[in-house]
Amino acid sequence: PPPAALLHAMVPFRPETPPDLTGTHVLITGGTDDPMIPRDQTEELAAILRAGGADVELELAPGGHQLTAPELEKVRDWLAEILRDAS
């Protein structure tokens, strides 16, 4: 399965059973003080995806809902590593 980078993502719904995400690499980023997506929602999303078997990396940084250069660099580096390992 293709990797997924979820930036400032929230729980869109709570599934009765987690989806089968075995082998899926997921990076979730967020701000610890995000006024739109509270930290607990980001952490809950990570837990839901992990329960489905995804390999989840959760990266929370000080800040709000804005994207930052370090966050985008993290996504770039993470994706490069995932793609390098896949080849």
Average pLDDT score over residue span 40-66: 96
Average pLDDT score over residue span 67-85: 95
- For residue 25, what pLDDT is reported? 97
Q: What is the dihedral of CA 76, 83, 55, 67, to 10 degrees?
A: 10
The pLDDT tens digits of the residues spanning 11-25 come to 999 999 999 999 999
Would the pLDDT of 87 be above 90? Answer: no
Q: Closest Cα to residue 78, out of 29, 36, 40?
A: 29
Q: Percent of the chain beyond pLDDT 90?
A: 94
Q: For 16, how many CA atoms within 13 A lie in the half-sphere containing its CB?
A: 0
Would the pLDDT of 86 be above 90? Answer: no
Q: How confident is the model at residue 58 (pLDDT cuts 50, 70, 90)?
A: very high
Taking residue 45's Cβ as centre, other Cβ atoms within 10 Å add up to 22
d(Cα 9, Cα 19) in Å, to the nearest integer? 17
For the chain, list the strands marked E by DSSP: 4-7, 25-31, 55-61
d(Cα 80, Cα 36) in Å, to the nearest integer? 29
